[in-house]
Structure 1
Amino acid sequence: MIDSFVLKNDFPILSRSIHGKPLVYLDNGATSQKPQAVIDAMSTFQSTHNANVHRGIHTLSEEATAKYEAS
């Protein structure tokens, strides 16, 4: 069984308090909060491979496409 307290630690935003109470985010229909591993992967991609996927013939687009397909 997954320990929800351990899982919560993977999501940096859930360490916040709002009005002195721990943040509980239930609006997942609008957006989903991301675990640190996803934030890190997105940051790396945006910093080093950001280009159109499946839409270009230049090096950055080919790298972005390869990263996308491998994920």
Structure 2
Amino acid sequence: MLKNKKMTNLQNIKKEFPIFSNYPKLVYLDNAATTQKPKQVLDALNDFYTKSNANVHRGIHKL
């Protein structure tokens, strides 16, 4: 019973990572620099880069 509960939790966690929808049996062992990100993080990054990203102080000079 405990094993089934752990598997269910693992499956729920894997649902948060888009890569696992294409590769459900993937085992991804990498470091934090390039590790896969959950969908909510990808959504937040997308929101930032499409709505808020800018170079600091860019465009305050006279042309």
Per the normalisation by structure 1, the TM-score is 0.58
State the identity as a percent.
43
- Whole-angstrom CA distance in 2 between matches of 1:48 and 1:12: 22
Hey, what does 2:26 align to over in structure 1?
Answer: 23
Higher relative contact order (CA 8 A, sep 6+): 2
**Residues 15 and 22, structure 1, Cα contact 8 Å, conserved in 2:** no
Runs (5+) with no aligned partner, structure 1: 59-71
Matches within 5 A, 1:1-71: 3-17=9-23, 22-28=25-31, 30-52=33-55, 55-56=56-57
TM-superposed deviation, 1:30: 4.9
CA RMSD of aligned residues (A): 2.8
- Structure 2: unaligned runs, 5 residues or longer: none
Per-residue deviation, 1:9? 0.4
Amino acid at match of 1:31: T
Q: Which has the higher strand share?
A: 1
TM-score (norm 2): 0.64
Moved over 4 A (4+): none
Post-superposition Cα deviations, 1:2-52, rounded to whole Å, max 9, x if no partner, equal 7111001000012223xxx72111112551111110111100100010024
